[in-house]
Structure 1
Amino acid sequence: MSVAAPAFEADAPADGGTPLIALDGVDKLYPSGESVVHALDDVSLTIMPGEYVAIMGQSGSGKSTLMNILGCLDRPTRGTYRVLGRDVASLTPDALAALRSRTFGFVFQRYNLLPAISAEENVEIPAIYAGRPKAERRERAQALLARLGLGERAGHKPSQLSGGQQQRVSIARALMNEAPVILADEPTGALDSHSGEMMLALLGELHAEGRTVILITHDKEVAAHAERVVRIQDGRIVADERQKAPAPRASTFGAEHLDLKAHNPFFSDLTEAVKMAWRSMAANAFRTALTLLGVVIGVAAVIAMMAIGEGSKQDILGRIASMGTNLLIVRPGAPGVRTTGANASLQAEDAAAIAEEIGNVVAVSPERYTTATLRVGNIDYATMVQGAGPGYTAARDWAMQSGAMFTQADYDAYAPVMVIGTTVAKVLFPGQNPVGRYVLVRNVPFQVLGVLAPRGANAFGSDQDDIALMPLSTGFIRVFGRRYLNSITIAVEDTARIDETQAEITSLLRRRHRADDFQIRNTSSMLDMATASADTLTTLLASVAAISLIVGGIGVMNIMLVSVTERTREIGIRMATGARRSNIMLQFNTEALVVCGVGGLVGVALGIGVTWGLEYLGATVAYAAGPALLAFGCAVLTGLVFGYLPARKAAGLDPVVALASE
């Protein structure tokens, strides 16, 4: 049962002023197996602005639990807690964070400084979450540290400071936002006697300035410095005694400290979050590198695979386009039936009929081919010998490198003449000009009239330059024997009417043959099919690469979840100094974004490097800004998506539980 000392009522001002802190019937229960532990049991307490109160009790008495509730780090299970008449139970977590930021300054027994940053930066933390400008908070932090005798140690990290110096840094942090209430939890517990005396003297100075000081201690000598001592035992207040008459002083608490609106701009928060993210990455460099690896590989794979896919696509389409996209190729055999070329259904007269009767035709070339051995001196070379019409080069849009194409007169005269490809020319006439020279084909001499311009491999990988052309009429007599065609190549003038022209040729050949013993291929359709196939291949490659990027994102999420667990105490410190849930969310999401962003940039560089290397080794690749931007954007999106869960987990932590974490 709580004891209300007579002096309790006497502390209220004669004008009936509102108490700074008022607890009424507060309980705090913790489940313990099947039972419940009463950390606080029916606690009622009133503290007026400007008081210096010591809450004294042994370990386990509930005094730290009481301090956590007073500082809005924890909520009571039952009862009412009001700050200047405002019921704390009605406040949202973010409003409680704002109340902590503007009203309470915490001085912890274990200092609770962030080890990776300097003393000055530790002091600045509450001002960051209060939205104060950088220059202003830096100036105030330096002034506070100088006042506490740490001006020359402002740039040192906590590990470089003594216990007393670290505690003074924590006091400077508590004063950063000019908090009117100082909550000191065993502030001398980890200090030597000299440092402890200095700490108590400093608290006395702060009280003399008008601040309300609430001191949590188990030591009677420490409690003796307060004006009022509240004793707690087994979760209940057992005594409330006035040790000294309160000295007249103006309170520093005002209505502005209950302004719980958010004043910190988003971009200021983001800047600080990025800065903290870099520090976090630097503090765990090896783990960060491993985390980056998955994202780097994913982004590089996306860029390299899309470059390979696009390069292959352009290569295939280029080869098909080199055949001409305005061509109709007629072959013997029924549609859908694969022919071997031994089908005699296609005749030279069909080509002549097409040239005479079908409009929208630029050139028609009847063709027959076979493999034969060409001889020049003691050099023999087997190549494809093709009989064609004079319109072959026009139909195929194939220019001459040297010499000239055989003419209609050559065709009509069955002239033994020939035009060869560059591959044949290099083999049979190494370092020589073939034009005007003779080549033996089955012991028949053919004069070389010209050399075709080089074209390289076609869409099927065959060397287009490994060819020897002769008039089809000559070929029938000298080389081929039977007078049938392997194909007819038709060049169309207006490609917009190519389907119409194809239908007309189909109708003509049906009339001539009285059967569907031929098939017509449209190179424009072939190009569309090849484009679709290449697009499918590129998509497949990109999908495989994207999977590796997702795997990298999952790795980021796992590492960030581990980071949340490892930094639980840091999160508690930030919340105690005024960080809202949105601040914590932004902090951890930003860290994931920075990791993935850096990984994305490195991955882009690596992907471009790999692509360049593949090109150097002879692979066909296509450079484009799109895949790089897409991969980097996906990396950033991965950080945003996979950083959300760890960030939400961090933001959802209970401040008092987070602070208790080791």
Structure 2
Amino acid sequence: MTAPTEDAPLIRIRGLHRVFGEGAARAHVLRGIDLDIRAGEFVAIVGTSGSGKSTLMNILGLLDRPTAGSYHLAGQDVARLSRDAQAGLRNRLFGFVFQHYNLIPTLTALENVALPASHAGAARAARRTRAAALLDGLGLGHRMEAHPAQMSGGQQQRVSIARALMNGGSVILADEPTGALDAESGRQVMRLLSDLAARGHTVILITHDADIAARAGRVIRIAEGQVAADSGFAPPAEPAPALPPAGHRRPALLPTLREAVRSAFAAIAASPVRTALTLSGIVIGVASVVAMLAIGRGAQEEFMRRASAIGTNWVVVSSDQGTRMTRRPLTLADAMALKDLPNVAGAMPGRWEQAAVQAGGLSVETDVIGTDRDFRAVHGWDVARGSFFSDADERGGSPVLLLGATVARTLFPDGRDPTGEFVMVNMSPFLVGGVLEPKGLTESGNDRDKVVVMPLASLESRVYGPGELSVIVVALRDMARLDDSNALLREVMIQRHGAEDFWLTDAAGAFAAAEAERASQNLLLGAIAAISIFVGGIGVMNIMFITVRERTREIGIRAATGASMRDILVQFLTEAVVLSALGGLAGLGLAAGVGAVAASGFGMPVVFSVTVALGALAGATAMGAAFGLVPAIRAARLSPVEALASP
């Protein structure tokens, strides 16, 4: 942009036309305007309502485009400039003073004044310092943190003048600046504009009041869209200040994002209830996936831990209770036949029964397991006190047993070692040989330590009589040979039973089945969460459309102060992202609460995953960004003049 000379006006328009609407609604507002305005002039454009003076100001301020004709600003044809390039010119060259102030209600006076500098990319500290100086110079140093609703009309108009000067305000465009003020406030505003003109600013005043217009050095009267009279060029008292350099310096993205985030939180705080309702879908979606996966993972890890407590090298032989064929029971002889097979480290017969165990005046109903000494190696479960029963005890069916830790605490609450004491099992006396190591709860919440273990022969001869084994648990030496070992176990059992009337379950298969079940649960929960977050994303889009409609005037104000399409797009897209991120964070908080209740209130194992939490948060934020993009684009594409006209 070249600086205007005495012969080259700052503003030159030729044959300017502006037509609105089509057909019967067509309105030809400007009809061939020719006008030159030199730098430093104080020009009043007067006319009755509907004469076209405000439309002319909008075109001069690059808020609107003419239908026909040319407009040269400092020698540059603005018709060739993109919308963002025109926004850059508005930001660096023009300052607007509107009849109704057009201050953003959620911003303080200081923030409203600093707005043009934020769109220019100025550092926050620097623009706040300049804004404070401008407000102080206009007598508003004590109102810097006040919001527009807390100020009088005269104070608000002075704030708008300070905003017009924020980036220099080489050209001040004032549209009926005293129209909404009382007489004294109007006189103060006119004195300010006269002072600016005296200091060399180009001031273009739009008014219908001849007395107000008389304060200007030049008066142009518009009638029916044409220049009806022009008092002519009046040399300014002071030389015009130098114009800002050409080109549009786009603000860096990071400062723009910071400002957008601040504005987003201010907008959210203005309507917290609506925000909370909007985010309910995202909150529920994130909470459900994080909490349910945490509970599922806790149950899975508990299963793995409990399963690992008996090793990972086991194969369980169990009777096929659901078969329709004649079934042979599992016997001790079956277990003995499996003990000598290759790769078998131990084969533990197991018979589970229920019995009442008493000591003194105390009694407990508990599981009783009849087994042999391979129990210790297969389950990896040794005694904490006392000693395990011997081979002789097994062969002779001796009345000895081992107490689980919970049974020992119940029957001997004084904490003494029950080893060597006698207890009654279904009214049969047994000597306590020791107390088993504590194992804790199973994945389903059952107490593994509420158990009594005795030789199988003792169970059958002294408590229940002969019966069928519940399972045979086989421990393998080398799990790399699992398939071969399973095949051999199956072959031996079929030979003994004459049919495959049993099940073989190995640790690897159990873990794989558990993992498959967990994966299925994760997939289901993920689908449910995705639907919830998707619904929440639609809610974000709806609220952003409402926000754009409610804040259309704000969009116009930002555009008038030099906001580019990118600035407005980033502003509203950031609000959508912040909304969604807040919903995601609230969802994580709700998930933590659900997990705490599940763990403390119901004793469920809960294991939260940072990866899942971050993934859910990122997914919710991305969904919000995706759904907020369309409203943000709509906001960015709004015409500045139409946005400013919004109620």
Give the TM-score range, shorter chain. Answer: 0.7 to 0.9
**Matched residue, 1:407:** 390
Is 1:129 matched with 2:116?
no
How many angstroms apart in 1 are the aligned matches of 2:124 and 2:394? Answer: 89
**In structure 1, how many angstroms separate the alpha carbons of the residues matched to 2:138 and 2:446?**
85
The 5 Å alignment of 1:305-320 reads 305-320=292-307
- Worse overlay, 245-254 or 316-325: 245-254
Query: After the TM superposition, which of the residue ranges 619-628 and 453-462 deviates more from structure 2?
Result: 453-462
Report the Cα distance in structure 2 between the residues aligned to 1:281 and 1:371, rounded to whole angstroms.
62
Secondary structure of 2:101's counterpart equals: coil
- Classify the secondary structure of the residue corresponding to 1:617: helix
> 1:635: Cα distance to partner?
4.5
Query: Helix, strand or coil for the counterpart of 1:276?
Result: helix
Q: Structure 1 stretch 369-378 or stretch 34-43: which is displaced more? A: 369-378
Cα distance change on mapping 1:137 and 1:483 into 2, 3 Å: closer
Q: Look up the equivalent residue of 1:68 and give its one-letter code.
A: N
Find the counterpart in structure 2 of residue 111 from structure 1: 101
How much does 1:67 deviate? 0.9
1:502 paired residue number: 486
Q: Within 5 A, what are the aligned runs for 1:84-95? A: 84-95=74-85
Amino acid at match of 1:318: R
Match of 1:365 in 2: 348
Percent identity of paired positions between Structure 1 and Structure 2: 45
- Superimposed CA distance per residue, residues 7-65 of structure 1 (whole angstroms, 9 cap, x where no aligned partner): xxxxxx99884332222332222226744111222333333333333322211111111
The structure 1 residue matched to 2:521, chosen from 506, 527, 537, is 537
TM-score (norm. length: structure 1): 0.85
Equivalent runs, 1:42-441 vs 2, <5 Å: 42-237=32-227, 239-243=228-232, 245-247=234-236, 250-254=239-243, 257=244, 259-291=246-278, 295-333=282-320, 338=322, 343-344=327-328, 346-356=330-340, 358-370=341-353, 384-422=367-405, 435-437=419-421
SS in 2 for 1:648: helix
Deviations 1:558-603 (A, max 9, x none): 3333222222111111110111111112222333334444454454
Question: For residues 398 and 538 of structure 2, what CA distance do their matches in structure 1 show?
Answer: 73
- Would the aligned equivalents of 2:17 and 2:30 in 1 still touch at CA under 8 Å? yes
Cα distance in 2 for residues equivalent to 1:162 and 1:635: 43
Bigger mean CA deviation after superposition, 343-352 or 94-103: 343-352
Partner secondary structure for residue 622 of structure 2: helix
Counterpart-to-counterpart distance in 2, 1:152 and 1:428: 79
Once the two structures are TM-superposed, the CA of residue 68 in structure 1 deviates from its matched residue by 0.7
Match of 1:659 in 2: 644
Instruction: Structure 2: state its 5+ residue gaps.
Output: none
- The offset of 1:193, in angstroms, is 3.8
| 1:516-595 superposed matches below 5 A | 516-541=500-525, 543-545=527-529, 547-595=531-579
- 1:501-556 deviation digits (Å, cap 9, x = unpaired): 22232234445555434332112211221233234335544554554444444434
Tell me the secondary structure at the aligned position of residue 398 of structure 1: coil
Q: Could you say what the CA RMSD is over the residues aligned between the two structures, in angstroms? A: 3.6
Q: How far is 1:310 from its partner?
A: 2.2
Q: Which range is displaced more, 200-209 or 390-399?
A: 200-209
- Give deviations 1:89-108, integer Å, cap 9, x for gaps: 22222111101111211111
| One-letter code aligned to 2:235 | P
Aligned length, in residue pairs: 643
Question: SS at 2:521's partner residue?
Answer: helix
Counterpart secondary structure, 1:117: coil
TM-superposed deviation, 1:191: 3.0
Of 130-139 and 144-153, the range deviating more from structure 2: 144-153
Q: Which whole-Å CA distance do the structure 2 matches of 1:460 and 1:248 have between them?
A: 91
Q: Shift in Å at residue 661 of structure 1?
A: 1.0
Pairwise CA distance, 1:365: 1.9
Q: In the alignment, what sits opposite 1:10?
A: none
Asked if the contact 1:344–1:484 (Cα under 8 Å) also holds between the matched residues in 2, the reply is no
8 Å CA contact 2:439–2:448 kept in 1: the answer is yes
Spell out, residue by residue over 1:475-513, the C-alpha distance to the aligned partner (whole angstroms, 9 max, x if none): 555666667644322111223333332223223444555
Counterpart Cα distance in 2 of 1:611 and 1:460? 17
Inter-partner Cα distance in structure 2 for 1:439 and 1:160: 84
Question: Structure 1 residues 390-399 or 548-557, which shifts more?
Answer: 548-557
Distance in 2 (alpha carbons) for counterparts of 1:342 and 1:448: 40
Q: 1:489 to 1:120 in 2, by over 3 A?
A: closer
Q: 1:607 to 1:354 in 2, by over 3 A?
A: closer
Note closer, same or farther for the CA distance 1:193–1:520 as it changes in structure 2 (3 Å cut).
closer
CA contact (8 A) 2:354 2:366 kept: yes
| Residues in 2 aligned to 1:378 and 1:223: alpha-carbon distance in whole angstroms | 109
From the superposition, tell whether residues 537 and 482 of structure 1 become closer, same or farther in structure 2 (CA, over 3 Å). Answer: same
Q: Residue 524 and residue 139 in structure 1: after superposition, are their counterparts in 2 closer, same or farther (change >3 A)?
A: closer
Distance 1:415 1:619 in 2: 39
Q: Does the residue aligned with 1:261 lie in a helix, a strand or coil?
A: coil
Q: Aligned pair in 2 of structure 1 residues 299, 410: CA closer, same or farther (>3 Å)?
A: same
3-state SS in 1 of match to 2:21 = strand
Report what 1:622 is aligned to: 607
Contact map agreement 1:273 1:586 (CA 8 A) in 2: yes
What is the distance in 1 between the residues matched to 2:264 and 2:466? Answer: 81
Counterpart amino acid of residue 484 in structure 2: E
Residue range with higher mean Cα deviation, 422-431 or 496-505: 422-431
Query: Is this contact kept in 2: 1:99–1:258, CA < 8 A?
Result: no
Q: Residue 230 of structure 1: SS of its match in structure 2?
A: strand
Q: What is the one-letter code of the residue matched to 1:326?
A: N
Q: Which piece of structure 1 moves more, 590-599 or 217-226?
A: 590-599
In structure 1, C-alpha distance between the alignment counterparts of 2:158 and 2:352, rounded to whole Å: 96
- 1:424 to partner: Cα distance: 5.4
Q: CA deviation at 1:606?
A: 4.5
Deviation larger for 505-514 or 186-195: 505-514
Mapped contact 1:49–1:253 kept (Cα < 8 A): no
- Whether 2:12 is the aligned partner of 1:22: answer yes
Tell me the CA shift for residue 468 of structure 1: 4.3
Deviation at 1:436, TM superposition (A): 4.2
Paired with 1:435 and 1:219, the residues of 2 have a C-alpha distance of 109
Paired with 1:161 and 1:386, the residues of 2 have a C-alpha distance of 84
Residue 233 of structure 1: how far off its partner (Å): 2.2
Bigger Cα displacement from structure 2, 574-583 vs 193-202: 193-202
Q: Distance in 2 between matches of 1:14 and 1:176?
A: 22
TM-score normalized by structure 2? 0.87
Q: Aligned partner of 2:345: which letter?
A: V
User: How many angstroms apart in 2 are the aligned matches of 1:624 and 1:156?
Assistant: 46
Whether the aligned pair in 1 keeps the contact of 2:89 and 2:248 (CA below 8 Å) is no
Letter of the 2:255 counterpart:
S
CA distance in 2, matches of 1:442, 1:107: 97
Q: Which amino acid aligns with 1:329?
A: V
- Comparing 360-369 and 71-80, the one that deviates more: 360-369
Local SS of the residue matching 1:579? coil
Deviation at residue 295 of structure 1 after TM alignment: 5.0
- Aligned 8 A contact 1:601 1:632 in 2: yes
Q: Which moved more, 1:291-300 or 1:27-36?
A: 291-300
Distance (whole Å) between structure 2 residues aligned to residue 479 and residue 156 of structure 1? 87
- Structure-2 change in CA distance of 1:522 and 1:160 (3 Å): closer
Q: How far apart, CA to CA, are the structure 1 residues paired with 2:516 and 2:30?
A: 73
Structure 1 residue 127 displacement after superposition: 1.4
Quick one: distance in 1 between partners of 2:257 and 2:451? 67
CA contact (8 A) 1:557 1:642 kept: yes
